[in-house]
Amino acid sequence: MRILVTGAGGQLGRDLTVALAGGVPPGGLEGSPATGRLGDRAPVEVIGADHRRLDVTDRTAVLCATDELRPTVVVHAGAWTAVDACEADPDRAFATNAVGTRHVAEAARRVGAHVVYVSTDYVFDGTAPRPYVEWDPPCPVSVYGRSKWGGEQELGPDATIVRTSWVSGAGGANMVATVLRLADAPGPLRFVDDQRGSPTFTADLAGALCMLATERLPGIFHVTNQGTATWFDVATAVLACAGHDPARVEPIATADLVPARPAPRPANSVLDNAALRLAGMALLPDWHEALGRLVSVLAPAAMR
């Protein structure tokens, strides 16, 4: 089986290429079907294409790449993920996230490859009083969310759509890395306490994506670490894990952020992993445990 990964230079793409090749990403678990090395599957040849090697906005380049490489599966992790910047440049957001996915879908169809598309909790508006299931209608409130929902609509019924949320990994700019960077600076740290989601860690998510990609399971899957949190909860937990005083974190409301963020965020973007759960498939571990593993990878660098 040959698997082409787009966006392979991103925080998820890096861990995914390691996991698909049979390795355990930094902070990952060995041996669990959803999160670790898959011992008994057929060997996978992984081709990780970062943005420079494969720009999904370039239709010809995408078609040529799949014609030449003939992948069995394309895991499409490449996206413009700068949620606030997307508000100021909707054309770039849609060109990358929606039209780019159109190109990947067309290219995959031509060579009979299965597509796994990585999507987001931000396809929902956050007004539901409960976690969102895969069958809830999307209603994104930001340009980024609308462009990723656009990408979902480019795919046929046989594709796999994996919606995830609040992603952090060893190789990216993310909330955990930010809090570790701020930990040594003096003064209080302020994080919002009125947005709730499920923090998700690339080392675990990569394992689940490996399973879904190699099994080529069609349909929408919500895949997050288990448990929910606000950003205030995450920041507090990062400080505690890294041996800092968690009481330094102060909760604030989104409305009190200075400067205000250009992109609206859903107040509730907790994703019920219902499709996995109802099929009796393994869920990712609780986010606190996964955070501890990531901090143990990142903290030595953060303390230097």
Ligand X SMILES: NC(=O)c1ccc[n+]([C@@H]2O[C@H](COP(=O)([O-])OP(=O)(O)OC[C@H]3O[C@@H](n4cnc5c(N)ncnc54)[C@H](OP(=O)(O)O)[C@@H]3O)[C@@H](O)[C@H]2O)c1
Residue 86 and residue 92: Cα distance in Å, rounded?
A: 7
What residue number has its CB nearest to ligand X?
10
3-class secondary-structure state, position 62: helix
State the greatest distance between any 2 C-alpha atoms of the chain, in Å, as a whole number: 56
Q: b/e for 174-192, b at 16 or more Cβ within 10 A? A: bbbbebbebbeeeeebbbb
Nearer to ligand X by C-beta: 10 or 36? 10
The answer to whether residues 94 and 103 touch, using CB atoms and an 8 Å cutoff, is no
Active site residue 144: yes
User: In the chain, which residue ranges form alpha helices assigned H by DSSP?
Assistant: 11-20, 59-69, 83-88, 90-94, 100-111, 143-153, 175-182, 202-215, 231-241, 274-278, 287-303
Q: C-beta of 39: minimal distance to ligand X in Å?
A: 26
User: What are the residues binding ligand X (CB under 6 A)?
Assistant: 6-7, 9-13, 51, 54-57, 77-81, 96, 100, 118, 120-121, 148, 164-167, 172
Nearer to ligand X by C-beta: 87 or 248? 87
Q: C-beta of 49: minimal distance to ligand X in Å?
A: 8
Token digits of residue 23: 């390795």
Q: C-beta of 21: minimal distance to ligand X in Å?
A: 17
Q: C-beta of 105: minimal distance to ligand X in Å?
A: 14
Residue 200 buriedness (CB in 10 A; 0-12 / 13-18 / 19+): buried
Q: Which residues does the annotation mark as catalytic?
A: 144
